[in-house]
A and B are shown apart, each in its own frame.
Chain A
Amino acid sequence: MTTGKREAGDGKRDKVGSSVDGWVAGARPATATSGTAENPFFEYLLRLADDRLVLGHRLSEWCGHAPILEEDIALANIALDLIGQASLLLKLAGEIEGKGRSEDTLAYFRDAIEFRNAQLVELPNGDFAVTIVRQFLFDAWDVLVLERLTAASNQSLAGIAAKALKEAKYHLRHTAEWVRMLGDGTAESHARAQRALDDLWPYTAELFLRDAIDAEAVASGSGVDVESLRPRWRQTVDQVIGEATLTVPKDGFAPRGGRAGRHTEHLGRMLADMQSLARAHPGAAW
């Protein structure tokens, strides 16, 4: 398996240690695994993987509880797609790290502070509208990210992105249609969809924050300048939200920190659930 061309950290530590946007400096938790930029590409892959692992697990919580059978299957399908992508990305991350950690080790034996997902994806499912709106906001971003990553200089990452992009396009089609149906549905569904949008909107800002890790990945040809994606994301989001007769919230205070391991209280609980089996029975198989 080809690994990234970029060698870990050599001569880059000083550059990474400073902050591009000012929000990373001092916020980096000291963890033994990924809190430093010792290996920026590993760190970058964790971000991509953890978004998918955490969101996939959140969606899987709907299994058996969705409003109708068809949607139960649809959400489980999306969850499986995301967890499958996470598995591939974590495997690649483990190879890049070179310390013998498998995708399972990375998924089940890191604590919340070592997770690099954006806070948006770890939020509780709420009602169906919250789950759908969160997924839609993520999917619209995800398609743009994956489109860029199909051209990554790291061939493994490019391959994973090409496979994931097909899945993500379908996810977006599914959740966009749901946003339209909820927003342009009954008074109740409209109100719930708008409330979900208002509550989740601040968390979308973090998806477009760029820091030194991103800059490293972009410089190596295997990263995406997320900041530059925002106009196209807004185009998609504005259009669908308009068709749904919903109102795009104003930008204001925006929580941040997930990329540096600072998470909401919800992630720890979710991981306790997600990781309990693997930790109680290490190496268990069936």
Chain B
Amino acid sequence: MANDTVSAIGGATSAAETQWDLWEVFTQEGEGAPHEHAGSVHAATAEHAMQNARDVYARRGKVVSLWVVPTGAIIASAPGDAGPLFDPGNDKAYRHPQFYKTPRGVRGL
């Protein structure tokens, strides 16, 4: 499993048949803001998932939009791939914006 390049989260789970599907919830807290992952809910249908997401994650916040996505539909990187996928970026300082000095007098960056 750790060597798989990709794996579907929650796909082919061993959950009992009495367990509803898992859905990931994304909330947007203002026009133009990104939808951010808020958590997950169990639900039997898409409409049910939307309602549970609303009740659990959106009732007290300033949420203006909700996404719910079947957890199984998300393709995630495997933990074992973290090295090959992400490490190379760290030892090349010039890939980071901090590497570059900002010339004096430049404003509004």
Contacts and interface: CB of A to CB of B under 8 A. Distances in A.
Interface of A: 68-71, 73-74, 77, 170, 173-174, 177, 181, 185
Interface of B: 20, 41-45, 47-48, 51-52, 54-56, 59
Interface of A: prevailing SS: helix
A174 B51 contact: yes
Contacts of B56: 69-70, 73
Contacts of B43: 70
22 contacts: A68-B20, A68-B42, A70-B41, A70-B42, A70-B52, A70-B55, A71-B52, A73-B55, A73-B56, A74-B51, A74-B55, A77-B55, A77-B59, A170-B54, A173-B51, A177-B45, A177-B47, A177-B48, A177-B51, A181-B44, A181-B48, A185-B44
Chain A CB within 10 Å, residue with most, of B47, B54, B55: B55
A68 B45 CA distance: 15
Nearest to B53: A70
B15 to A, nearest CB: 13
Contacts of B54: 170
B24 to A, nearest CB: 14
A181 B46 CA distance: 12
Contacts of B51: 74, 173-174, 177
Given A68-B20, A73-B55, 14 more contacts: A68-B42, A70-B41, A70-B56, A71-B52, A74-B51, A77-B59, A170-B54, A174-B51, A177-B45, A177-B51, A181-B44, A181-B45, A181-B48, A185-B44
